[in-house]
Structure 1
């Protein structure tokens, strides 16, 4: 049973090494691939101005952030929340770099010392959809994830969108819009279902679906120089 944290940040600019800082952290918790409601959302006072281009993206003004806590004052709370979780991040190198810099400034060890694996959904999407647009917006559109209430980029909202995208990307199931207050089994509970009571239909792919599938395989063949595992496995099965 795994605890996943889908994470996003907003920053004053693009370079942590050149002094840019985190101004917003948004985290959404998944347990057994379902939303728990145990989320984390914090605005921080970066003690510096945001670059003009960054401000256009996130809309978080210096006046708004002036009375917010500094990252160092809540750094241990962030560490405790993230501890032992697998992190799901889009373009992970960016957010991890900023978080490690903030932890360093707070006198704390880097993420790798207290979290599990870091999964980059951008890298995953590029592997599945080579040559396609794989930004968070593009993936939302591809999977039908509603982002109509998104005027600016916000860490909490983007983390929520990414959680939905991640479930679609890894299993292809519908959006995980679940009621976290519903009568779900407690964490770790095992539910046994007798499948013999169900008559499961056999769904045959349409010609359009087969053609789309073949197009994806062709793209994968090109990007992998003909080493597509799915095609190799299928050819062995036929042989």
Structure 2
């Protein structure tokens, strides 16, 4: 056993001396000219220090997208951008003239871009795509208001999905009066990792929520979310 280990060590040493690099995971094939959706970004201050007039901090930036995303944020009034290619998190060093705290950093935007490698895989496995599917919310049946919501998923590609919801609402605005019908349309987008979806309404992009698909049912932390039609 020791002889085998010595032989392996000698082989690795020989390769190193020849300048042969160690194998590394393949990076995602990101196309940052083609945005495909929104994501949720967050920043964590790992360490900070310094003294006047120069302060520093090490931060961790995380995206809800698995890869190919760009997180934009401000340090005080200075814009910053972190590009995440092969994963959903990365570290950056920040420099400023005042102490850098978590409250000094404000996330402005998180954008997902096309990953050609994942996109090819999704195309070859179209049976798992949610594109073109519709999902129905449980009926809201109250004394003065009744509503029904249907989700329409228009795109599901490269770990990103988007679509719209149609709300059909019947509301009784005066006691014992007639029900008045109105129809509203809401846009949504999000990221997908297998059966887990991170939804984000266009009207509330900073309040994403997770939904899990189990067969023909979507379930959130609050319980049943929608059923496939």
- Normalised to the residue count of structure 2, the TM-score between the two structures is 0.18
Larger fraction in helix: 1
Larger fraction in strand: 2
- Normalised to the residue count of structure 1, the TM-score between the two structures is 0.18
Which of structures 1 and 2 has the bigger CA Rg? 2
